[in-house]
Chains A and B, each alone.
Chain A
Amino acid sequence: MAILTLTINGEQVSGKDDESLLKIARQHEIHIPTLCHLDGLSDVGACRLCLVEIEGQSKLFPACTTKPQEGMVVRTDTERLKRHRRTIVELLASEGNHQCAVCVVNNHCELQDLAYEVGLQYVRFPYLYPKKELDATHKSFVLDRNRCVLCTRCVRVCHEVEGAHTWDIAGRGIDCTIVADMNQPWGTSPSCTSCGKCVRVCPTGALFEKGQTVAEMEKQRDFLKYIVTARTKREWVAEETEE
């Protein structure tokens, strides 16, 4: 592990060579919008909202999966990036069925927050109104694919933290969808432990608790940091007693 010095938005910062640009930026209180990233889960660069410009490179890089290099010059707030971020949010809106007015996480939704952040007045692309299925077969939770943005947080938390790997992605392109086990109703999944971690990490109203009404469900994400920290520090492992 080495300490590197780089420049973000004209400010000289330092970070470890195994940290992502996103992590380094956040350590220095430089805001980069994200959707698929969640502290405690691996990064996959799926949503592309954290794209940054790197001097000397023509293409854009996702800050969550890009490692720093000595002397790197990074910009996170150019007009080009703002334009791209707004377009990404617009495409997410047009490709799903996001009716805020009837969503259980209205006013508690990360996609909605992002739309406000990028100043989304209207969507320039035609809405596609895809026909997506809702799975309410689980006794406690509901999967509403209409609200899913395919960030895969649920897939990752189930695999990496809970260890069940109930969730996965099936299909390609616009037909991509979240599936439980062998693409079966969630309620019949033998691997699901009903822990609810996927519900807690979902940024939108795609996963929610049964019995919640409009604008009622607030996601509590603190548990993830608690579990991941405890595991790292082996807080739950009993000390071996000397014989």
Chain B
Amino acid sequence: MKPRVATVWLGGCSGCHMSFLDMDERLIELADKIELVYSPIADVKHFPKDVDVTLVEGAVSNVENEEMARIIRRNSKFVLSFGDCATTGNVTAMRNQFSPDEIMHRAYVELADGDPTIPSEFTTIAKLLPQAKPLHEVIKVDGFLHGCPPTPDQIWFAVSELLAGRTPELPNVYLRYG
């Protein structure tokens, strides 16, 4: 049976997923080796059970992210912090110097082109956590892939190692932030 792989997009810019897609023709090779069971690039509604490897992009920024992180942990054998936001908070965590109320006001009132309204009761957007946190502050993480975003080569290396049943010990050349 092929390894079941998932990729998840929490509080990030999707740059890590863009970089994932930048693996180009290697994606075809990868598609033969894995079963992609959940991803923003696949239309799957619920995070499945019994996932072998999950790549998590982005910081844990709102209640939805937090709930998702716990589901990922419960259902995955190996969780990889995918990129700098998941690993350090990075750009997503720059909002931590302000309260969620200040941020919502800035985004939906001060910067509104028209109809300056904060979405009521958070019915359409998930409620912000007091602070955006790196993934390992919320759930146990098994490995880290740095970079904003990680390069396609780094991702290919990490995924290949994982599929070979090894924990990716990234060589120093791949250890880079930003």
Q: Are A119 and B97 in touch, CB under 8 angstroms?
A: no
Stretch at the interface among B25-33, B131-139, B151-159: B131-139
Alpha-carbon gap, A106 to B148, bound state (A):
11
User: What residue in chain B is nearest A214 (Cβ atoms)?
Assistant: B178
Given A101-B84, A107-B176, A121-B87, 11 more A-B residue pairs with CB atoms under 8 Å apart are A99-B91, A100-B84, A100-B90, A100-B177, A101-B178, A116-B175, A121-B175, A122-B88, A122-B136, A127-B93, A130-B97
User: What residue in chain B is nearest A121 (Cβ atoms)?
Assistant: B144
Contacts of A99 in B (CB 8 A): 88, 90-91, 93-94, 178
Q: Are B178 and A119 in touch, CB under 8 angstroms?
A: no
Contacts of A127 in B (CB 8 A): 88-89, 93, 96, 133-134, 137
A126 at the interface (CB under 8 A from B): yes
A115 at the interface (CB under 8 A from B): yes
Q: Name the one of B97, B137, B144 contacting A126, with C-beta atoms under 8 angstroms.
A: B137
Q: Are A97 and B94 in touch, CB under 8 angstroms?
A: yes
Residues of A that sit less than 8 Å from B by CB: 93, 97, 99-103, 106-107, 112, 115-116, 119-123, 126-127, 129-131, 215
A sample of 20 inter-chain contacts (CB < 8 A) reads A99-B88, A99-B90, A99-B178, A100-B90, A101-B91, A101-B148, A101-B178, A102-B91, A106-B177, A112-B177, A120-B175, A122-B87, A122-B88, A123-B88, A123-B134, A126-B137, A127-B88, A127-B89, A127-B134, A127-B137
Q: Are A122 and B90 in touch, CB under 8 angstroms?
A: no
* Main SS at interface, chain A: loop
Contacts of B176 in A (CB 8 A): 107, 116
Alpha-carbon gap, A219 to B178, bound state (A):
18
User: What residue in chain B is nearest A115 (Cβ atoms)?
Assistant: B177
B81 at the interface (CB under 8 A from A): yes
Contacts of B94 in A (CB 8 A): 97, 99, 102
Q: List residues of B (124-178) whose CB comes within 8 Å of A's CBs.
A: 131, 133-134, 136-137, 141, 144, 146, 148, 172, 175-178
Contacts of A215 in B (CB 8 A): 178
Q: Are B88 and A129 in touch, CB under 8 angstroms?
A: no
Contacts of B133 in A (CB 8 A): 127
- CB 8 Å contact bits of B62-101 with A (1 = contact, 0 = none): 0000000000000000000100100111110110110000
Q: Name the one of A102, A112, A129, A131 contacting B131, with C-beta atoms under 8 angstroms.
A: A129
Q: Are A107 and B144 in touch, CB under 8 angstroms?
A: no
Contacts of A93 in B (CB 8 A): 88
Contacts of A126 in B (CB 8 A): 137
